[in-house]
């Protein structure tokens, strides 16, 4: 399961409304790259989920994850933080053995 905090939900809903597409799902994925080997990706999903995708509804947001990424993302908490240094989505991934300083790449 993947959990999206209320702060992240509010930000995602604002972004969806800005795009005039409030009913889209959010696709979470892991791809190779970054300074630690794997990077997180978030995108709005306009296509219907594939048969092999995992689909979750969490705090009113539909989340779609491909099976390969799910192996790395199961148990992840997606949050949205605001600080003096900036704001953005933050992944709290229990499967990450090492993360880079910027928080967008990890190794498992």
Quick: pLDDT tens for 4-28: 999 999 999 999 999 898 889 999 9
Task: Find where tokens 């992240």 sit.
Answer: 8
The residue-averaged pLDDT of 22-42 equals: 83
* Global pTM value: 0.82
Cα separation of 67 and 48, whole Å?
Answer: 15
Contact 1, 59 (CB under 8 A): no
- Judged against a pLDDT cut of 60, whether residue 106 lies above it is answered with no
Per-residue model confidence (pLDDT) at position 84: 79
Per-residue model confidence (pLDDT) at position 7: 96
Question: What phi and psi, each to the nearest 5 degrees, are found at residue 16?
Answer: -65, -40
- Judged against a pLDDT cut of 60, whether residue 78 lies above it is answered with yes
Tokens of 45: 């999903």
Q: Where are the alpha helices (DSSP H) in the chain?
A: 6-18, 67-73
Provide CATH code, domain 3-95.
2.60.300.12
Number of Cβ within a 10 Å radius of residue 15: 15
């Amino acid at each position: 399961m993947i959990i999206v905090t209320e702060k992240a939900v509010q930000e995602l809903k604002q972004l969806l409304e800005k795009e005039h597409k409030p009913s889209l799902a959010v696709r979470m994925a892991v791809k190779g790259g970054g300074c630690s080997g794997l990077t997180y990706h978030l995108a709005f999903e306009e296509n219907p989920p594939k048969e092999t995708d995992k689909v979750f509804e969490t705090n009113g947001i539909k989340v779609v994850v491909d099976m390969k990424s799910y192996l790395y993302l199961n148990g992840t908490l997606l949050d949205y933080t605001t600080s003096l240094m900036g704001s953005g989505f933050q992944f709290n991934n229990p499967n990450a053995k090492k993360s880079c300083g910027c928080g967008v790449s990890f190794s498992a």
